[in-house]
Amino acid sequence: MTGYHHHAARYYGPRYYGPRRHDYGYHRPTTGEASEEAPPEKPTPTGAEAPNKPAIKGLVPVYFATNREVMGGPNLQLKQITYDRSATNTYGCVTVSIPIVHKMGEVETPKTYLYGIWTEAEQDGKHFRIQTLSKLSREEFASAIANPADSLMLFVHGYNVPFSDAAFKAAQIAFDANYKGRVMIYSWPSKGGLADYDYDRESALHATDGLFDLLKLIKTEGNVSRIILIAHSLGSEVVLGALQQAALSQTALGITELIFAAPDVDRDLYLERANQIKAAAGAVTVYASSTDLALLASMKKAQSKSRMGYVTKSGPTLVSGIETIDVSAVGSEMFALNHSTYSTSRAVLDDIGRIISSSSHLKPPQRTPTLRSMPNELNATYWMYPY
């Protein structure tokens, strides 16, 4: 194949793990949200400017499938991946570099100053960056991910997420969790703007066919030991649509762990599809929160009673057989809508890390003893992080 060789060593900073190996985790300020402060007079030295100091902590290969419209020919460039919708999937792989200044739970990106007038240049030592980008045929993609001794983590991003941000977030989750398996994203055509919720919701509904096709490919040709599917925010709508197609066609997808992080799905739809969700995976975990203002905004816009990932005064929405964790107490308001608890909270990230890295499923209190059983240990129906 051209441009990417999946047998090249994956480098996680000073740690080697052998062969192969931008509504959501973080928010890049737009013009109206940029800092009023003046830009720094001189950039902080990075690895490129200080040869004795390494610029990056690691490189994370991230495989991708996307139903975004991809312009141009076979030599893929990032600007060719648009927010327009395509009827078919495009496959490939990116290599994401983790900067030496990286802090757990964060995706470090260039700062914007003076209301968008000036943005600092990308630097390897300060920012997540895409170092390589390669387009793969369907056959090359299937061959590249196939390894019966390996697990695969598939991340489906939420609203307000450009393609590169989705790759950054998946890389950050995997790197921070010390995950050693394959990393993959399904990037549906989010427009990547806070004001584009309606467009993104329509795009999410349009993306279910593509995700279903990808899940079938992974199951039939991926030949991996475990499949871990993580859906965030509006990406949960995409996942539910794909699972419905699987149920209607009686297609087994072989999902080992299914994780919903702050899922932006109508509560009634969630309850209606609960059996399909449980049938699709060996274990299902829902991280819900009462402090997620984005879900509150979604409820108001949709005139909905509640969302799947929102914790009301009476508690989270519970389904027997689905493990629900109230993460309200450990939320971190990364930006005004506070929609990134799942990846900015060290406690939640640790819990996700234990799920994706374990060879077998552990109940929430087994993997994270600090979780409190609700309403009590003898009659636990859900768990919560204590205040």
CA–CA gap between residue 56 and residue 237 (Å, rounded): 35
| E strands present in 137-268 | 147-156, 182-187, 224-232, 255-261
Tokens of 35: 């800092």
Distance CA 176, CA 183 (A): 13
pLDDT at position 74 is: 67
pLDDT tens digits along 22-62? 333 333 333 334 444 444 443 333 333 444 568 999 999 99
Q: Where are the domains of the chain?
A: 9-384
**For residue 228, pLDDT beyond 80:** yes
Q: Could you tell me the pTM of the whole model?
A: 0.83
Mean pLDDT in residue range 210-219: 98
Q: What is the 3-state secondary structure (H, E, C) of 263-297?
A: CCCEHHHHHHHHHHHHHHEEEEEEEEECCCHHHHH
- Residue 137 pLDDT > 70, yes or no? yes
Contact 189, 85 (CB under 8 A): yes
Reply yes or no on domain 9-384 having CATH 3.40.50: yes
**Which residues have C-beta within 8 Å of that of residue 31, sequence separation ≥ 6?**
112, 115, 116
Distance CA 261, CA 283 (A): 14
Tell me which residue of 337, 266, 278 sits closest to 308, measured CA to CA.
266
